[in-house]
Amino acid sequence: MASRQAPLCGLAPCCLWLLGIVLLMDASARPANHSSARERAGNREENEILPPDYLNGVKLEMDGHLNKDFHQEVFLGKDKDDFEEDAEPRKSRRKLMVIFSKVDFNTDRRISAKEMQNWIMQKTAEHFQEAVAESRAHFRAVDPDGDGHVSWDEYKVRFLATKGHNEREVAEKIKNKWDLNIDVETQEVLENLKDRWYQADNPPPDLLLTESEFLSFLHPEHSRGMLQFMVKEIIRDLDQDSDKKLSLSEFISLPVGTVENQQGQDVDDGWVRDRKREFGELIDANHDGIVTMAELEDYMNPMNEFSALNEAKQMIAITDENQNHYLEPEEVRKYSEFFTGSKLVDYALSVHEGF
């Protein structure tokens, strides 16, 4: 043992020096780590009180982009997260067949458009229930006094706190009507949020939102008035000639940005192709080449049974190889990627364009 201890004793000063360096490096890294944690927490809090850009079970996102996950959301429902891209295909197909049996209400081993429509409505209702539960939790976060109402100023304080502002200082500035000293981008977000707050505030307006009004603020699909507001916002952003309607050319216009390479060109080509098909087959109900606010509202209303039926027919048509207007087990298995989200666009195009 003595022969081993001697070298170790000789290394002790060196080890202590190295340990000191490591500890210093760790100490210097901690502020960054803590800052990152605070940033992540702030982002989480911001996401909880901000209206989401993405709404489950709604065809268009808040920015007017097509919801690429819509078919999975209304077919898989709460089971959507079980179908990961790296999941074992055989297991995914088995899960799909379990869902198939649930959709096949009359157990005749095939799914009709009516059965698919009923299933879509059922899954949409599930998404609604999830949104209500989330909104209730978020409402409590912005209603600390628990009086059942949230004022615009209370919400603004909480929102700016998620942006790194001191909550107490912001509240004091708002109370005394002092300048908040916020950047231009944050000010623009606040102005848009206030417009939305006004819309969610049922008459007579008092800028105090109840729990149900706050739900409409976060999830416009739960309120006809807020859904109409969302439709107006989308049309305003896409309407190039200010006629409050959308032509095909306006709806398929590429988003801001330039194509820099072939991959970007392919993405843009896909954008135009997808939106052109959606415009002609589902949104433009009377096929006159113009989409009105009423048509877009019907298309986006997740509880619209007629739209659900059209979606059901389209989902079946995309995978209906034998063209009998029913969805059969073999077709579900073959096109499992369509229903689970992987390569959704490729499958839709290859089958649809083959008709």
Three-state secondary structure along 308-336? HHHHHHHHHHHHCCCCCCCECHHHHHHCH
Q: How far apart are CA 74 and CA 78, in angstroms?
A: 9
**How high is the pLDDT of residue 267?**
56
If one compares 304 and 344, the residue with the highest pLDDT of the two is 304
**Mean pLDDT of all residues in 293-319:** 93
Least confident of 36-50, 75-89, 219-233, 252-266: 36-50
pLDDT above 90: residue 13: no
> What is the overall mean pLDDT for the chain?
80
Q: What pLDDT, in 10s, does the model give residues 231-244?
A: 999 999 999 999 99
Residue ranges covered by each domain of the chain? 69-149+210-254+267-350, 150-209
Q: Residue 247: in which H helix or E strand, if any?
A: strand 246-247
Mean pLDDT of 127-153: 90
Q: What is the pLDDT of residue 102?
A: 96
Say what the pLDDT of residue 47 is.
57
Q: What pLDDT was estimated at residue 353?
A: 37
If residue 209 lies in a helix (H) or strand (E), which one and from where to where? strand 208-209
Instruction: Name the band, by pLDDT with cuts 50, 70 and 90, for residue 62.
Output: confident
- How far is CA 161 from each of CA 247, 272, 308, 349, rounded to the nearest angstrom? 42, 40, 41, 46
Report the pLDDT value the prediction gives residue 338, as an integer from 0 to 100.
Answer: 82
* pLDDT for 287 beyond 90: yes
Which residue shows structure tokens 């207007």?
A: 325
Higher pLDDT, 59 or 341: 59
Whether 254 and 268 have beta carbons less than 8 Å apart is answered as yes
Q: What is the pLDDT of residues 144-180, one digit of tens each?
A: 788 999 999 999 999 999 999 999 999 999 999 999 9
Q: Both tokens of residue 325?
A: 């207007």
Token couple for 7: 């070298």
- Axis crossing angle, helix 152-162 with helix 167-175, rounded to the nearest 10: 140
For residue 1, what are the CA distances in angstroms to 5, 6, 10, 11, 279? 6, 9, 15, 16, 84
**Stated pTM of the model:** 0.71
pLDDT of residue 79: 84
Report, as an integer, the average pLDDT of 237-266.
76
Per-residue pLDDT tens over the stretch 178-219: 999 999 999 999 999 999 999 999 888 888 999 999 999 999
Cα-to-chain-centroid distance, residue 169 = 33
Pairing of the two strands 290-291 and 246-247:
antiparallel
Both structure tokens of 195: 């417009």
For 291, the 3-state DSSP assignment is: strand
**Tokens in use for 124?**
């949409």
Cα 302 from Cα 121, distance rounded (Å): 8
